[in-house]
Chain A
Amino acid sequence: MSLQSSFIQIFISHIKREFLINFRSLVDVISIISFMILIVILFVLGIGPFEEKLRLVSNAIFWIGLILAIIPSLEKTLQRDYDNGWLDQTITSPTPMEIILLSKSLAYWLIVIIPLIISLPLFIVLLDINLKLIPWLLISILVGGLSISLIGIIGSALTLGAKRGNILLPILIIPLIIPILIFGVGVSEAVRINESPVGNLFLLIGFTLIYLVISPFISAFLIRIAISR
């Protein structure tokens, strides 16, 4: 078997592993969605039930809810494997850590995005999102969700073994996520005011591609630092 195909196999088996861990219990998945619904409720209660006002900010609320709902569960993605020694084991295996981390972030992306897409109709009803927005919203959360999970893996690796890592993580990664919020909201905002959303979408894709390239290397580097202590 060639080296390349064995890497692909390892890649797929790691994604399977993450899926099994997360979907067996379903606790993480349910908590992400319910947390997001609660954030939306908080926003609506804070703004007031005025339809015109809500329609102006519904895209922003959706994206902020998405980002805030993803962040708390990020800390656990690597910390759990670090605590039970899984990371120490895998770092001694011949598979590069970068591939494992790439599969981890892709798995995390799917784990977050699948329930989100299933529950998207709920948010469309709750936030009164225009129906013509839906395909663009779908594409932008697919792309944006990928870059959030790629950045999240970096954040998770940064706070590995840190004191108060769960408080530190949002402070570290929210500044990194700002461009995703801007371009992601930009896509749906452009559709809402009848402009072409392609520019924003391409910028979002470009940003995601940058992180797709650098994120596995940075987080692998960080994990080697964390393991060496």
Chain B
Amino acid sequence: MFDWLANPNRFNRISEKMQPCILLIAIITLISGLYFGLFDSPKDYQQGDAVRIMYVHVPSAWLASFLYFSLAISCVFYLVWKHPLADLISSAIAPIGALFSALTLVTGSLWGKPMWGTWWVWDARLTSMLVLFFFYLGYILLSNAFERKIDGSKTASVLAIVGLINLPIVKFSVDWWHTLHQPASIIKIGGPSIDDKMLLPLILMIFALSFFSLYMIILNVKTKLIEKKCEALLLKANLEEISKAG
């Protein structure tokens, strides 16, 4: 099945048809999610209007971790089956994932200012999100650090997989560190049970941001495919010139 999908031309053809649908779903869910989230959902009895930050914060946190997972999976595909498309996909995912983890940190600290009184708390969740951001950063930096693109892709793929092994350990150890130093004093967002009126926009926003990032990834991959085609054409033209001159 993956062989079938790995053909760049086929990918182009399929994505051509899928892209408008994905964008449409993203826009519809984004608008309805924002409407329900900002106007038609109850205030939290403790947090007031600030709870609405959650509708951006939680989906981006979810996406940041999910995108890292898919980045590592596509790196596995690249290393094992050596599909060039898998490499393009993982290099397309990385900046978007980094963006979402940064967004999580920013929205989290915007929420933290009125709630906790500070922009930043060395809470376990915040710290592991920060570490996740640095894993993305390391992947992007390493994949651009070599003379030849392919060396960077291979090496950075290994880093992404090592990161996937290491992230649960980091998460666990940061949790451990936090509980060792001070008892949990932070209000869990939404608490154990969440009102249906709040759950609806949350789910809508998760869909919206997921489809939006899928759209961006496909766009990114297509751009990279075109770049590769341009490079190949240039190379061909140069070769022809050389053979003519020779």
Q: CB within 8 Å of B: which residues of A?
A: 154, 158-159, 161-165, 168, 171-172, 174-176, 178-179, 182-183, 186, 189, 203, 207, 210, 214, 218, 221-222, 225-226, 229
Q: Which residues on B sit within 8 Å (CB–CB) of A203?
A: 173, 176
On whether A175 and B173 interact (CB within 8 A), knowing A162-B146, A168-B141, A225-B151, the answer reads: no
Using a CB–CB distance below 8 Å, which chain B residues touch chain A? 131, 134-135, 137-138, 141-142, 145-148, 151, 154-155, 158-159, 162-163, 165-166, 169-170, 172-174, 176-177, 180
Assuming the contacts A163-B146, A178-B174, A182-B176, asked whether A171 and B158 have C-beta atoms less than 8 A apart, the reply is: no
Contact B169 A172 (CB under 8 A): no
For the complex, give the distance between the alpha carbons of A225 and B146 in Å: 12
A108 to B243, CA, bound (A): 53
Complex: A168 Cα to B135 Cα, angstroms: 12
User: Roughly how many angstroms separate A189 CA and B181 CA in the complex, as a whole number?
Assistant: 10
8 A–B contacts, CB within 8 A, in A order: A159-B145, A162-B155, A171-B138, A172-B138, A174-B134, A175-B135, A207-B169, A222-B158
For residue A229, which residue of chain B has the nearest CB? B151
B155 touches A222 (CB 8 A): yes
Q: A163-B145, A175-B131, A186-B180 are in contact. Are A158 and B159 (CB under 8 A)?
A: yes
Task: Name the residue of chain A whose CB is nearest to the CB of B173.
Answer: A179
- In the assembled complex, the CB of A78 is this many whole angstroms from the nearest CB of chain B, namely 13
Lowest 5 CB-CB distances: which A-B pairs, in order? A179-B173, A162-B145, A182-B177, A182-B173, A172-B138
**With a CB–CB cut-off of 8 A, which chain A residues contact B147?**
163
Chain A positions within 8 Å of B158 at CB level:
158, 218, 221-222, 225
CB <8 Å contact, A171 and B145: no
B146 proximity list for chain A (CB < 8 A):
161-163
From A178, A225, A229, contact of B173 by CB (8 A): A178
